[in-house]
Amino acid sequence: MRRKRRGNGEKVREEELIVYRKLTEEPLFRKMGCLLEQWEAGAAERRTREECRGMLYDILHGLIELADSRGFHGNLWHCYLADLLVNDENGYSRGCEGRGGFLGTLNDAVLHDMVILKELYDCDFAPMAAALGVPEISLIQHYESSSRESRVYNRRICARICELAEQFSQDRTSAQMKDTLTHFYREYGVGKFGLHKSFRVVHDEGGVRIEPILNIAHVCLDDLVGYEIPKKKLTDNTDAFVAGRKANNCLLFGDAGTGKSSCIKAIANEYFEKGLRIIEVYKHQFQDLNQVISQIKNRNYRFIIYMDDLSFEEFEIEYKYLKAIIEGGLEKKPENVLIYATSNRRHLIRENYRDKEEIRQDMHTSDTVQEKLSLVHRFGVTIYFGAPDKKQFQEIVRVLARRDGVALSEEELLLEANKWELSHGGLSGRSARQFIDYLLGMEKEAHQS
């Protein structure tokens, strides 16, 4: 098997990649390049043929392992190359995310790389496999994935990469392949921020990293029954943010189980296509916030740094890091970053009556109180989520039961719901949801027995 050659008779080499040069660091990519080079250089030599045969089996193993971890199907070599391209963060791919292509020398350099990559993409391995006695090559050409969930991507991302691989197959020229890839960058972005909705922060010996959260609950705002005014305040602020208009940091506070965290998950789902990404940060990670922001401030996405169940005891000083980040440090907070937090406490930091007593040890008690209140004042939008009353709780139960097809009369449903809330946390949307899940579990068990 021979690959295409350039007009001057020289073969296009993988080592000549410029913009996408990091691909040559990928083990499978290097191994495939080495296999093709050895095969072309000494196909007639028995020793070379045996080495090539072993390398080809290594590549088959690697591609099938890749398909197992990522959920790929179809032509696995095509999926592998597509996966590399959608994850390669370089000057061109980052510049295209959310915007599309652009002119200039970088554009010409990418087209040069696409000539090389299309050659690799179009390689027909069947003749080489036949000569080496490797009929198993067919396994990676029409691969059917198992039903097991991907350990790297969710189904939506996996489907997009497989679709991109199929679109590349329809491109006749390297320029068309470049256009297809540029369109993907414009629509979905590149790398982890382009493919994933939500992230967590990891601090280890390698430093501060932002890692994707692979599976986020597919919650919509409509799933949260009631709370129309709080939801409207949240969406109005988020709409302004993703549209590039002025927006505020948000504090969602109120009673437990009222849907504050669910609202954040919902906007992660509903605003993903508009370029919104959510990064969850825990209290002990506040000292890493500067490094987190430095990694996202120049990307063409809008980022919400999300802090769940935010509150501080008197002895905890992490809130001082947060105050400096939100407002007060010399460096201006990037326009593509906001902070959304949820809390059961309106003022976030525990206050004691001794803070307001006439006789105090602190000579400047007003300063002490202001120090504790200054954090919440840095959230421009505060949204209250209160526990439902009896009537509202029953309405939540009715709506959830109707949506999930619970087979109980309304009278029996509400009677059981009242019993449930008395022994399971009181009146809240969370206890209503748990009650409906309990009924669904009992129905399933009855059907199975």
In a domain, 5, yes or no: no
Tell me: do 38 and 180 sit in the same domain.
yes
Query: How high is the pLDDT of residue 352?
Result: 53
In a domain, 241, yes or no: yes
Tell me: do 352 and 418 sit in the same domain.
no
In a domain, 274, yes or no: yes
In a domain, 256, yes or no: yes
Tell me: do 362 and 423 sit in the same domain.
no
In a domain, 7, yes or no: no
Tell me: do 333 and 443 sit in the same domain.
no
Tell me: do 55 and 190 sit in the same domain.
yes
Query: How high is the pLDDT of residue 51?
Result: 87
Query: How high is the pLDDT of residue 316?
Result: 62
pLDDT digits (tens, 9 = 90+) for 249-307: 999 988 888 889 999 999 999 999 899 999 999 988 888 988 999 999 988 899 999 99
Tell me: do 130 and 268 sit in the same domain.
no
Query: How high is the pLDDT of residue 361?
Result: 52
Query: How high is the pLDDT of residue 201?
Result: 95
For the chain, residues with pLDDT lower than 50 are 1-2, 5-10, 12, 353, 358-359, 363-365, 367-368
Tell me: do 302 and 339 sit in the same domain.
yes
Domain total of the chain: 3
Tell me: do 342 and 268 sit in the same domain.
yes
Query: How high is the pLDDT of residue 174?
Result: 94
Out of 385, 406, 427, pick the residue that ends a domain: 385
Tell me: do 145 and 189 sit in the same domain.
yes
Tell me: do 249 and 377 sit in the same domain.
yes
Range of 344's domain? 198-202+209-385
Out of 337, 369, 385, pick the residue that ends a domain: 385
In a domain, 6, yes or no: no
Tell me: do 443 and 307 sit in the same domain.
no
pTM of the model: 0.80
Query: How high is the pLDDT of residue 54?
Result: 92
Query: How high is the pLDDT of residue 422?
Result: 86
Tell me: do 250 and 185 sit in the same domain.
no
The 3-state secondary structure of the chain, one letter per residue: CCCCECCCCCECCHHHCCCCHHHHHCHHHHHHHHHHHHHHHHCCCHHHHHHHHHHHHHHHHHHHHHHHHHCCCECHHHHHHHHHHHHCCCHHHHHHCCCCCCCCHHHHHHHHHHHHHHHHHCCCCHHHHHHHCCHHHHHHHCECCCCCCCCCCCHHHHHHHHHHHHHHHHCCCHHHHHHHHHHHHHHHCCHHHHHCCEEEEEEECCEEEEEECCCCCCCCHHHCCCCHHHHHHHHHHHHHHHCCCCCCCEEEEECCCCCHHHHHHHHHHHCHHHCEEEEECCHHHHHHHHHHHHHHCCCCCEEEEEECCCCECCCCCCHHHHHHHHCCCCCCCCCCEEEEEEECCCCCECCCHHHCCCCCCCCCHHHHHHHHHCCHHHCCEEEEECCCCHHHHHHHHHHHHHHHCCCCCHHHHHHHHHHHHHHCCCCCHHHHHHHHHHHHHHHHHHHHC
Out of 349, 364, 385, pick the residue that ends a domain: 385
In a domain, 4, yes or no: no
In a domain, 319, yes or no: yes
